[in-house]
């Protein structure tokens, strides 16, 4: 999908997809990791996906042939209206055009092998259809981005439940940090990290992402 993303009366062309790894402590633990206390200046883990990996609401999702274990990772996703570089924490929220839920689909077996070899994650994270994305809700400060609940269901079973209040790096910190490396542009998307509970998806599974503030979004694995 490379078409436009509608937010209110405006349309944005997707520019880049920034993804944040290990942004919830319980998710770090479930993958067998630990938060580093040695880093003097801890910073977010950032990787990227092509905009062609976006899957709009309702489209069927195919399991890639180069992996066996496909995992769901529900995430709050923000769409930027621009921003530039070196954005302050105080100014970060003003750069958000819209908010929604999405999936960072991950081939876990491929990722484990990539980590063993110290290879980049692209084969496990950046494949076609790896970024299902719900419709955007206009961000107008009418709801609290620091206390946003969200849930992932698979075939009616609750798999993941999170809240942005549990983020290691808040959304303003993510925007501010990204702007120190990249000049942020209108249409940039940020997948802000997943909570614990990631799990396997199989053919014919129905995945539902839900937030009382953002809506209910469904995809089917084929």
Residue 100 in contact with residue 92, Cβ under 8 Å?
no
- Looking at domain 5-221, which CATH architecture does it have? Alpha-Beta Complex (3.90)
- The C-alpha atoms of residue 194 and residue 20 are separated, in whole angstroms, by 8
d(CA 129, CA 146): 29
Residue 129 φ/ψ, nearest 5 degrees: 65, 25
Per-residue pLDDT of the chain (222 residues; tens, 9 = 90+): 568 999 999 999 999 999 999 999 887 787 676 555 555 558 999 999 999 999 999 899 999 999 999 999 999 999 999 889 999 999 999 999 999 999 999 999 998 898 899 998 899 999 999 999 999 999 998 889 999 999 999 999 999 999 999 999 999 999 999 999 999 999 999 999 999 999 999 999 999 999 999 999 999 999
Residue 3, Cα to own-chain centre: how many angstroms?
19
**pTM value?**
0.94
- Environment class of 175 (CB within 10 Å of its CB; exposed 0-12, middle 13-18, buried 19+): buried
Strand pairing category for 149-154 and 157-163: antiparallel
Where are the chain's structural domains? Answer: 5-221
Is the sign of the CA dihedral 52, 9, 81, 172 positive or negative? negative
Tokens 């692209």 found at: 122
């Amino acid at each position: 999908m490379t078409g436009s993303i509608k937010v209110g009366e405006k349309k944005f062309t997707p520019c880049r997809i920034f993804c944040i790894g290990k942004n919830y402590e319980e998710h770090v633990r479930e993958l067998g990791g630990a938060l580093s206390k040695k880093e003097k200046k801890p910073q977010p883990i950032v990787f990227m996906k092509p905009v062609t990996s976006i899957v709009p609401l309702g489209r069927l999702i195919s399991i890639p042939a180069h992996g066996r274990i496909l995992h769901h990772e529900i995430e709050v996703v923000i769409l930027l209206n621009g921003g530039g570089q070196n954005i302050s924490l105080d100014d970060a929220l003003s750069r958000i055009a819209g908010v929604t839920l999405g999936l960072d689909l991950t081939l876990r077996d491929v990722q484990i092998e990539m980590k063993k070899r110290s290879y980049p994650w692209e084969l496990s994270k950046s494949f076609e259809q790896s970024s299902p994305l719900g419709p955007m809700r206009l961000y107008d400060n009418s709801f609290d981005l620091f206390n946003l609940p969200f849930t992932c269901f698979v075939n009616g079973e609750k798999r993941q439940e999170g809240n942005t209040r549990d983020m290691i790096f808040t959304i303003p910190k993510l925007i501010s940090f990204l702007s120190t490396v990249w000049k942020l542009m209108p249409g940039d998307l940020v997948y802000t990290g997943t909570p614990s509970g990631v799990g396997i998806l199989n053919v014919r599974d129905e995945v539902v992402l839900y937030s009382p503030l953002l809506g209910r979004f469904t995809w089917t694995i084929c």
